Structure formats: structure tokens, C-alpha cells
Amino acid sequence: MLRLRSDLGDAPALTAAMAAERRLAAGVELPAGTRAMRGSVRITAHGEDFIARPREATSLLLTDPHGAVYQVPLAGSSDADGYTFDVPVPNTAGLRLTGVTMDGPDMPFGLPITFELSGLATVDAGGAATPFRFELPGGQWGVPGSHGEVKITASGDTARVEMMDPGGAVNVSSSFTLRANSGSVEVPVLATPEALAALHTQVGAKLDIPLWGVTTTVHVTGEAVALPGELAPAALLVDMPSLGSHLVREGSRIPIITEWWLRTDPDRHAEAAAAAGPLPNLLTIDRHALALHAADDPFGAGARIALFIAALGAIGLALVGVAVDVRATARRRVAELAVLNTLGATPNLLARALMIEQAFLAGLGVAVGLVVGMLVARTTGPLVILTPSASRPVPPALTTTDWPPVLATAAVLLAITLVMAGLVATTMRQRLAAAQLRIGADR
């Protein structure tokens, strides 16, 4: 699951472009309902054991329809002889056997080594076994990256790999990966602008880069402003199923995925979190719970209280300023208004004019205050947000505005200003009468 902010890119379109070029490893599909696999494995040289307990050096590679690769060690069996095995497999529909790996020492010069996996069968939930057939539909099994002489036989429920070091300057390892022969794999990736600049490439380009020690041809299918998970701005998002297919093809080990991001049904989130918590060897991080408990953080609570007090103080200062301005305006302009009244303007007309003037000035002040406040918040807000390691988050924090309380505060300030102006306007008749008596008194 990939979630991107709307300002970072169109996540559905970007991931759809990657999925359109996805390559899954070829293999033989397991029967539906398979819960385990059993069989026997031997690694011999001239009929004698080359590795005493061969199942501890052997693993099966299973791939699900989404491209996730599962490495199933045969050492997990409880049999004591070191050859036969009966190991559980992931309870996932549509699994395919895409490879067999063996880890062994270097081969002595001229000594033929034979690996034989025989009697392989799938076992359902009821314990019934079904012989497994290694025949690939439209393909053949192969061993990549071998410098020795290799002969592969895979038919029925048996796979045999015969190897020998022909001699040379470099010792040949007996380790191998048996997988289906296939063409080269291009791995689709998303790149940030910084990654494109560092690689001197652009969207749509194909280039070779090292990934997990293997030269990999990647196809840049899209650009994302930023990607989560790394502090460095230069990052690549790799299609893991395609990368897994490429690594299996090259005979390399699949990297262990240590972090998964899951999306839950909002109505059943609490149930899902409670079920995931007790799982063994798993650290569950509930982002919803973190968001809820963030309000309990003493530092965060203290900062919010301080900001709230500062906001109340700013509102109080604004109200005092408005009251003083309305009062001063009425006292300063009463003589002017008295002249207009003498010329025929009624007190009601002058009161309405004063109200309209104060409403215009108050509305202008509220609008300017909102603009300045938004600029200050968007400028300073991201600067005070840090990660738990006291570093800047990548991507930078996005400032959002909760408009209802902001507009409500502005409306309250405007309404209080108009109320104060209205109180002054109600005394306009008395003020005009007193001012008319003083007209000409200073001459």
C-alpha cells in the first residue's frame, strides 16, 4: 500500500504505470489448498554424502500472484535423518514453485557433485499428498551464474543438478539457484527529482544500476516529488515483484522485507490492530493510535496551550484596539458630522455612514490579518516540525488550514467591531446636539 499526499504526485497513476510493466517469475503452480511440501534431498559426490545434512542447506522459493517471494528452508522439518523433509508453506492462494536454492562450500577440482530433490509432493490440510511435477509449461529449468560444468534434469517429482569444477584460477562454489530460464527483466521504478539529477536521467529512460549487489536494468516510469521512508531526498521506489524476479533469475538471494505498510477498513481498524498486536516476532505501529495519543504528549500539549494563550491575547489586543479606534474616530469627527447635520444630513444617515465606514475598515483589517497569519503559519510551521531523531521530515511537512474556526474567529472580530460602532452610533443624536452648540466657539 502506497499513500502519497496529493501535492507529491498521483499515486494511483504512478503505481499503475509501474504495475503495467511488472514481470513475475515463471514457475509451477501448487495445487489449491496446499499447506506443506514433503520429499527428500541428497547432495553426493561419487555416491557419498558431500553435505551430511543437505536439507539444512536447501530452501524452496515460492511466489504468490502478487509477486511476493517466500523462502521456505527445508531445515524447518522435524525429521532426524537430515534428508527427508515435511515443511509448512504460507497459507496463500496461487503459490508457485519458482526456484530451489542450495548453499554449499567450494567444489573440489574435478569432483562431480550431484544435488537431487526427489519425491517432492504437496500436502493439503487433510494430510493427503499429491506428487509434484517439475515440468515447466513452455520452459526449462536452469542454473544462472555457474562457472562449472552443470547438467540439469527435472521431470516428474525429481530435480537433479550435476556440477563439477573443471579447474581454473577461481574456485567454483557449489551454491546455486535452480530457476526457470527466462529473458532479461527490466525493473520499473519511480524516482524523485533529486534521484533523476543524481543519475543524470529522466522519466522514460532505462539504465543499469546496482541493486543488492546485482546489476539491474531499471525503467523510470514516473516521477514523485518525494518518497517516504528515507531522510535523503534522492530516492527510488522499486517494484518489488519485478526485482524479485530479476534476483531469482540472476541466482541472488531475495532481500528480506522488514517493513510493511497496511491499510485497514476504517470501521474495523481497532479489530485489525488488536489482532496484529499479539503476533510473534512482529512490531506493530498503529498510526491511528499514534495520532490519537499525540495530544497526550506533554511537549505538544504545552506548545498548544501556549499558542492558544497567545491567540487569546492577540484577540484581546485586537478588541482593545478596535474599541479605542471607534471611540477616537467618533470624538475626532463629531465636529465634521455636526456640520453635515446642519447642512441637512439626518442623524440616522450619519450613523449609517459611520457604521459603513467602520465595517469597511474592520473587514479590511480582518482580511489583512488573515493573509499575514496564513503566511506566517506556512513559513514557520514546517520549520518547527521534526522527526523523533530531531531531523527534518522528508517530504517537508504540509501546512493545512482548518477553515471553520479561522473564519469563525474572523467573523466574531468583525461582529464585535460592528457592535461597538453601533453603540457609538446610537449616541449620535446627543453628540451632534452638543457639537452644534460648540460650533464657532473657537473663533
Q: What is the pLDDT of residues 65-78, one digit of tens each?
A: 888 888 999 986 66
Task: Collapse the DSSP code of 20 into the 3-class scheme (helix H, G, I; strand E, B; otherwise coil) and give the result.
Answer: helix
At residue 11 the predicted structure's pLDDT band, cuts being 50, 70 and 90, is confident
Provide the pLDDT for residue 358: 80
Tens-place pLDDT, residues 129-154:
999 999 988 788 999 876 678 899 99
User: Are the CB atoms for 185 and 248 separated by under 8 Å?
Assistant: no
Tens-place pLDDT, residues 108-121:
888 889 999 999 99
Q: Which of 308, 214, 284 is nearest to 255 (CA)?
A: 214
Sign of CA dihedral 414, 417, 423, 424: negative
User: Are the CB atoms for 60 and 17 separated by under 8 Å?
Assistant: no
* Phi, psi torsion values for 102, nearest 5 degrees: -140, 130
Return the bridge partners of 188, or none.
219
Tens-place pLDDT, residues 212-248:
889 999 999 999 888 876 667 888 999 988 998 898 8
Long-range contacts of 411-418, Cβ-Cβ distance < 8 Å, separation of 24 or more: 413/315, 413/318, 413/319, 413/322, 413/362, 413/366, 414/359, 414/362, 414/363, 414/366, 416/319, 416/322, 417/322, 417/326, 417/358, 417/359, 417/362, 418/355, 418/358, 418/359, 418/362
Provide the pLDDT for residue 257: 77
Task: Collapse the DSSP code of 293 into the 3-class scheme (helix H, G, I; strand E, B; otherwise coil) and give the result.
Answer: helix
Tens-place pLDDT, residues 335-352:
777 777 777 878 788 778
Which amino acid type is present at position 88? P
What DSSP designation does 11 have?
H
State how far the Cα of 26 lies from the Cα of 248, in Å rounded to an integer. 10
